[in-house]
Amino acid sequence: MRCLLVSLLALAASLSAADSPDLARLRARMAEKRPVTWLFTGDSITHGALHTKGWRCFTEIFAERVRFEMNRRSDIVINTGISGDTTAGIIAALDWRLSRFQPDVTFIMFGMNDSVIGPDLATYEANLRKLVAEARKNSGIPVLMRVNPCIPGSAQEKRHAKLEAYMDAVAKIATDEKLILVDHWADWRKNPKSIAPMMNDEVHPNGRGHQEMAIRILQAVGLSDPRSFTGRLSAPTQSK
């Protein structure tokens, strides 16, 4: 029964994202002459340090796509993700990490730490809704992201036993508020054997994992191009 509920939540979230009026708003905003401010916030996965071993994290790949490949050179891409953080952490520092930048688009991804050290599920959901409301200010567009899963069968997967319920909450909020959803959680779980090669440890994506996440983010907001370097999972040594 729970598997059916999870599937329905994920399907509903993906449908609401595809139909989200925010996609049209995003296209309209990008058609304007003024530059766009993009902001990513989250925990260590968004922070993108250490586990990439010098490779670009998904926020940096996103910046490459938007600011160079799409020639939007005056756009600004900001990353306020902090290793070890939770929704409680950003709520306590909301002005410093989000509000003062007045972002046009805000990507929000929390849950890996929340599901282990708190806050509890109800508070987590309430915090996410506060973040969405803050991102909506000044005509901003919030984008929710569900985190990658832990390596199946690992000790960390057992430690993060509550993570699925937290990701269900993200899907519910995306459906309720008709938000764009980037669903790394569902995408990675389609092929469990492919998860480990994209991880540096049982929790954190490696460089390849970040490439995969960047591609999914760009697809979700309609900015991907599989012919571009940022749209591939390979890393060519010279331009072709």
How sure is the predictor about 2, in pLDDT bands with cuts at 50, 70 and 90?
Answer: very low
Please give the average per-residue pLDDT across 163-190, as a whole number. 98
* pLDDT for the residue 238: 46
* pLDDT for the residue 206: 98
State pLDDT tens for residues 44-81.
Answer: 999 999 999 989 999 999 999 999 999 999 999 999 99
Please give the average per-residue pLDDT across 143-147, as a whole number. 99
* pLDDT for the residue 17: 55
* Residue 118 reports pLDDT greater than 70: yes
Question: What's 2-229's CATH class?
Answer: alpha beta
Closest CA to 77 of 54, 53, 106: 106
Pairwise pLDDT comparison (239 vs 135), residue with the higher score: 135
Both tokens assigned to 4: 């059916």
**What are the φ and ψ backbone dihedral angles of 209, each rounded to 5 degrees?**
-60, -40
Output b/e per residue, 119-135; b: 16+ Cβ within 10 A: beeeebbebbeebbebb
